[in-house]
Structure 1
């Protein structure tokens, strides 16, 4: 494929000329705050929601900091499928570079391709987002060799903590509690966390055969999880309750993530999934930016996220934060990360689950309650700026000479370092709830759908806002991630945030060839279990197993709508046939009528026969079972009804 480089609003093949004063301003910002390398341009090695959110955050930060949203050049990657559906991230970018289509190993997960495009576009840095190549240690090393900044952790801590087995061993060494697992008795010293774990020690924590898995499950106790260390997104993980299930499911885990080390971990029943957001610089400073609760999950995929944590006591939340900080410092972590825990509602104990060495989908929850622009903070850390110099971080810890990024000149002159181990953060700002909008069909086992999106309407409010990777006239292609939207709602309390979210989702209008989870999620938010904060990580799967469906509109609305649609779409054919007879000088047969017609419908196994009487253009009387109503149908500008 020939290399193609396109400029949005520019001329193909020519690099846009940036204002020299903006370049100097970015340089001054970097050096005044103690940074080492200014970042003037960024390749976004991702698409969809990740790319859209990052670009919007950087635009906001650039305008606030430098007086121009274009101070940092943003370069997108675009597959043929992205171009075909007019993907939003392409429109927002300053430039886009074409990459091969198909599965992500051809494009967004292809390390060699990303490095080639970064070199070709002469960017200062690469942002990996989440998924794709974001957790591949080869990417930061390959970029470093070319003198390009990676907006994420170095390869060594990424490899150590991105591996579920290695991270659990490191967590144990850092004094972070872990659930009983196949590596519970395997020890490494805290001083060895910076080095790669010796193979012989690592292998002691793994299981390689069905027999070893059986033995380990019997030691940790049932129910247990068989987990692939390289798994994620619901892949390479199975819950087992007895020996027979281990025998049946172990090979499935092996097959889903070929070559991955596998381990066994005890299941914490009735547990919550809690998280701590970290931000770390290259000087050993680690900030814990409040917490999140992501317990509403379907097959280990998060559906609803919120923050801060409300199910655990404040003292426990502080322990979660300090344990997360110890873990990051143990491996000299740099960048944004999330430490995940399981919290037992019965005992109040917490256990390390994993560390995600990247920004997470739900990070805007933290941005709202902590008032920190996380993508902007990633760029600042990438420039080599220490955390104590970043105005928003100083504000988070209640320090002098802080504020928004427009305060950077004041900060650069008057700010002094402080001890992050002893610093107390400000209280979270209210409560924030987030809902992932996906193109999945809840009535068909949450099967992903794709196709055109004729209409997407969302009206933001002061307390409800959203990001979408699709707009009206666009679509979801077959290689897209199923999530195409993220809606956020704020409230002074959890109850108010939930209420605002429900009202906001009810105003989302999506029409097209896809199905979505919006109505289903409204039903979840309205449930007493969720409102009363009594959910756990298995709650949604149990609900699905019981076939609890979202409340649907009354049946007669489907009948009326279907009848009007069939009558309206067939009227043009009827008129044409009727006129055809008249042109020939013939009397139209009785079964062809411009006024009366009969419509038959089959809706979810029920048959309906409706007599239709046309009163004028788009106006009908509908009769069925002795009842009669009048209704109208109108055509929208985009062809819908």
Structure 2
């Protein structure tokens, strides 16, 4: 099959990544986009771009008919679905074939077999692959799930039968939580995948998540490209992945790999796929979890240890070419670790964040360093899509070298304007337990106090450094031709008198009056480029300090804090809280209103359900009271900070 033009039916970093390889192979690239993404990076990097309209996925990227029409209009012979959206949609794969287009994924029959978690588990059961105890049947009524959950034993895990990526997934600790969790998971699954079917499994408390990358061609050849450990997860979604999985013996690697190949061959698989297992380190047993019939987010770590380009392999296999190597020839060189940089609030339960990227800097390129992203400074992070901003990948001769290299990359990364998990990722990689490869899916919860420390008040040293960085960066802005001139200084310098100035600064919701005083031009800190150099007691340290417009971004204990000046008089006039008001924690859409004015509620009662980044978030009563008024309606789009519910505290 001749492929000269490739349409990428996706957005963000995966669209940019696929197009990078396609262009290297000499292909013409076609991007599709929503109205929201009209000026997105993947659109500008493509040779041809076609507007699908709409904003939400259902109005744009999930419209298979519009994607196929775009491919036809652009003269494309093939479609790469990326991951998410239509990548595991068997109907779309069939529609591509019927339209005479090559779908860069497995046959629709393979997606049918493995796309449904229930069907996949039944297939594995027939093949003798160990399964986690659970219910994967067709009946979807509440009494069935209630009965099966009781049979399995709590805690249980609800999972979307047609999904992945943590969408439509809920841990249920006790029967009283089941009904609400099931309804919410079904809505999430319907929104993300167009399919509300669920399954339920026993929730294993301390497993490792180990997955096998498989690849098959059209000539009945299939092999596995080693394994990845993806145990570091929050909200049932991966944030750190590495290859190979630490501590696996060659025998165990071979056993899991061969099982994954058998699973792929049993369904006539073609292309890139991933078979995921839960691995119990104590017993040495592994259990089949699911198969993802697409390229995975974490594929770069496999590329790093094998030296292979998996997207290039996808294109060549789609052309009918055989796999270029045998199983014995699969390389395994060194170690690679990947982190996912998200727009989210780790301290606020990892809730997704949206807004404008006022500042965005990626780490410098170099040997063993890779950054995959689809954003630029100034872009808007939309509430309609997954909040992942970028992936940072480091390779080393061994795991420790990769870990240290990735930590250095995170230090160089800067994001401003939206909350991110950047500081959290640095804490994970720097944690002694991670350094010792003590991995399992409960890692974040177990080390929560270390990974999500209470922020507390910012100390005097921070404010002093913020003041120094502010006045020095301000001087450079005011007199770019001579930043060292005393007449351009903003530090209160006066001839023959001590320099002194007061700055009213804000950072992380705190306000402080910073008084800077120095004699004879001597400073406790020096701004050199975008690094603030500080020396105390013979110890010299550097803090990233980036001035952007009227804001300063200063690194403090791994976190990049936004510092700004404020008018104390205006601040005092505006300082009044909306007593009893509950506001939207992020931009999103109101999907359910669960209360009405005049209703009495207990503390913790769900009042409103907000959907953002394809996940549902319940706004709950912080205390017992009476709903005084509602300021939102179902289906309404709301911005972060919008008042939703007025709750009057109950009187004794």
- For normalisation by structure 2, the TM-score amounts to 0.72
Residue 372 of structure 2 corresponds to residue 440 of structure 1: no
Does the aligned pair in 2 maintain the 1:491–1:497 contact within 8 Å?
yes
- The aligned residue for residue 123 of structure 1 is 76
Does the aligned pair in 2 maintain the 1:224–1:240 contact within 8 Å?
yes
CA distance in 2, matches of 1:537, 1:157: 28
Does the aligned pair in 1 maintain the 2:57–2:385 contact within 8 Å?
no
Give runs of aligned pairs for residues 164-179 of structure 1, distance below 5 A. Answer: 164-179=117-132
Which structure is higher in strand share?
2
- The aligned residue for residue 576 of structure 1 is none
Gap regions ≥5 residues in structure 1: 1-36, 63-70, 184-201, 398-422, 572-593, 622-627
Aligned-pair CA distance for 1:82: 2.3
Counterpart of 1:320 (choices 256, 267, 277) is 256
Does the aligned pair in 1 maintain the 2:135–2:199 contact within 8 Å?
yes
Does the aligned pair in 1 maintain the 2:187–2:196 contact within 8 Å?
no
Aligned-pair CA distance for 1:564: 5.8
- The aligned residue for residue 133 of structure 2 is 180
Aligned-pair CA distance for 1:248: 4.8
Q: 1:221 to 1:558 in 2, by over 3 A?
A: same
Give runs of aligned pairs for residues 220-299 of structure 1, distance below 5 A. Answer: 220-258=152-190, 260-299=196-235
Counterpart of 2:64 (choices 108, 111, 119) is 111
Residue 116 of structure 2 corresponds to residue 163 of structure 1: yes
- The aligned residue for residue 133 of structure 1 is 86
Aligned-pair CA distance for 1:316: 1.5
Aligned-pair CA distance for 1:638: 6.3
CA distance in 1, matches of 2:181, 2:203: 16
Q: 1:428 to 1:559 in 2, by over 3 A?
A: same
Instruction: Report the secondary structure of 1:263's partner residue.
Output: strand
CA distance in 1, matches of 2:168, 2:501: 56
- The aligned residue for residue 44 of structure 1 is 8
Residue 37 of structure 2 corresponds to residue 82 of structure 1: yes
Does the aligned pair in 2 maintain the 1:312–1:348 contact within 8 Å?
no
Aligned-pair CA distance for 1:282: 2.2
- The aligned residue for residue 487 of structure 1 is 392
Counterpart of 2:105 (choices 143, 152, 174) is 152
Aligned-pair CA distance for 1:522: 1.0
CA distance in 2, matches of 1:615, 1:100: 61
- The aligned residue for residue 471 of structure 1 is 376
Instruction: Report the secondary structure of 2:357's partner residue.
Output: strand
Q: 1:603 to 1:212 in 2, by over 3 A?
A: same
- The aligned residue for residue 532 of structure 1 is 436
- The aligned residue for residue 358 of structure 1 is 294
Aligned-pair CA distance for 1:131: 0.7
Counterpart of 2:460 (choices 556, 562, 569) is 556
Does the aligned pair in 1 maintain the 2:232–2:440 contact within 8 Å?
yes
Q: 1:596 to 1:465 in 2, by over 3 A?
A: same
- The aligned residue for residue 208 of structure 1 is 141
Aligned-pair CA distance for 1:349: 0.5
Residue 436 of structure 2 corresponds to residue 503 of structure 1: no
CA distance in 2, matches of 1:140, 1:605: 49
Counterpart of 1:100 (choices 53, 59, 83) is 53
Q: 1:614 to 1:568 in 2, by over 3 A?
A: farther
Instruction: Report the secondary structure of 2:135's partner residue.
Output: coil
CA distance in 2, matches of 1:116, 1:50: 21
Moved more, 599-608 or 154-163: 599-608
| 1:333-386 deviation per Cα after TM superposition (whole angstroms, max 9, x unaligned) | 111111000001221110000000110111111112122211111111111122
Aligned-pair CA distance for 1:549: 3.0
Does the aligned pair in 1 maintain the 2:464–2:516 contact within 8 Å?
no
Instruction: Report the secondary structure of 1:470's partner residue.
Output: coil
Q: 1:450 to 1:543 in 2, by over 3 A?
A: farther
| 1:222-256 deviation per Cα after TM superposition (whole angstroms, max 9, x unaligned) | 32212231343322222223333335533333343
Instruction: Report the secondary structure of 1:302's partner residue.
Output: strand
Does the aligned pair in 2 maintain the 1:278–1:337 contact within 8 Å?
yes
Aligned-pair CA distance for 1:467: 1.6
Aligned-pair CA distance for 1:525: 0.6
- The aligned residue for residue 305 of structure 2 is 369
CA distance in 2, matches of 1:486, 1:235: 20
- The aligned residue for residue 66 of structure 1 is none
Aligned-pair CA distance for 1:325: 0.9
Does the aligned pair in 1 maintain the 2:359–2:548 contact within 8 Å?
no
Aligned-pair CA distance for 1:521: 0.5
Cα RMSD after superposing both structures: 3.6
- The aligned residue for residue 17 of structure 1 is none
Instruction: Report the secondary structure of 1:355's partner residue.
Output: strand
Moved more, 235-244 or 512-521: 235-244
Residue 448 of structure 2 corresponds to residue 515 of structure 1: no
- The aligned residue for residue 346 of structure 1 is 282
Does the aligned pair in 2 maintain the 1:231–1:237 contact within 8 Å?
no
Does the aligned pair in 1 maintain the 2:243–2:336 contact within 8 Å?
yes
CA distance in 1, matches of 2:384, 2:187: 22
Which structure is higher in helix share?
1
CA distance in 2, matches of 1:240, 1:546: 26
Does the aligned pair in 1 maintain the 2:34–2:61 contact within 8 Å?
no
Does the aligned pair in 2 maintain the 1:208–1:262 contact within 8 Å?
no
CA distance in 2, matches of 1:440, 1:358: 26
Residue 23 of structure 2 corresponds to residue 59 of structure 1: yes
Aligned-pair CA distance for 1:327: 1.0
Aligned-pair CA distance for 1:291: 0.7
| 1:538-561 deviation per Cα after TM superposition (whole angstroms, max 9, x unaligned) | 221344478733999973353135
